[in-house]
Chain A
């Protein structure tokens, strides 16, 4: 069983839809939860990071962490075709290694 589980999709939504991306993890010692976005033929870029349970908002993006359930989410409001990319959740384990989810491929159709 992987330490971080993420549905690989692909996920296809119409423009303007609300997108929900999720990851579960097994190790309660994980901290610093991140979401990366990766466009085709590019390296991942950091979208958001959170440390504690709760919500963090940045424009159309909201990151949510529920440590009691070992569950993190990324919500995208008013999705745009430019949001089409692979979204990766990631978190640091206690050894200082960054552990990634499988990535969810998102396509936003005009």
Chain B
């Protein structure tokens, strides 16, 4: 059974640009969550999608957005990139909505560098 896949694995952008990251969950999983990981702030929750609807959102500015498709694949978009957006972006999938315990399986992440 294939794990969570994320593309691209590495990305370099300049300030002001926008970026789209992609996540394919484990087959059959309906929930996809996104996290940002930085050395200073650690792992922080961005948002969760379940059945194409945003179910939960973390404390990030509106420049961070996402969506989920009918096949459960998800994309996240960051517009007007800032230097502080440089981070490892992790996607995690679970069978059902996160919350009451459902194990989340993480992908390898996309390393975004903003110059």
Contact = CB atoms under 8 A, between A and B. Distances in A.
A binds B: yes
Interface of A: 32, 36, 41-46, 49, 51, 88, 90, 92, 95-103
12 contacts: A43-B4, A43-B90, A46-B103, A46-B105, A49-B101, A96-B48, A96-B97, A97-B48, A97-B98, A98-B33, A98-B98, A102-B42
Contacts of A96: 48, 55-56, 97-100
A100 B108 contact: no
Contacts of B108: 41-43
Interface string B8-47: 0000000000000000000000000101000000111100
Contact of B42 (A42, A51, A101): A101
Interface in B75-113: 90, 92, 97-101, 103-109
Interface of B: 4, 33, 35, 42-45, 48, 55-56, 58, 90, 92, 97-101, 103-109
A12 to B, nearest CB: 18
Given A95-B56, A96-B56, A103-B43, A43 B98 contact: no
Nearest to A44: B106
Nearest to A46: B103
B101 A88 contact: no
Nearest to B41: A102
Given A92-B99, A96-B99, A44 B43 contact: yes
Nearest to B6: A43
Contact of A43 (B42, B48, B55, B109): B109
A95 B43 CA distance: 17
Contacts of A46: 103-105
A81 B73 CA distance: 36
A41 to B, nearest CB: 7
Contacts of A51: 101
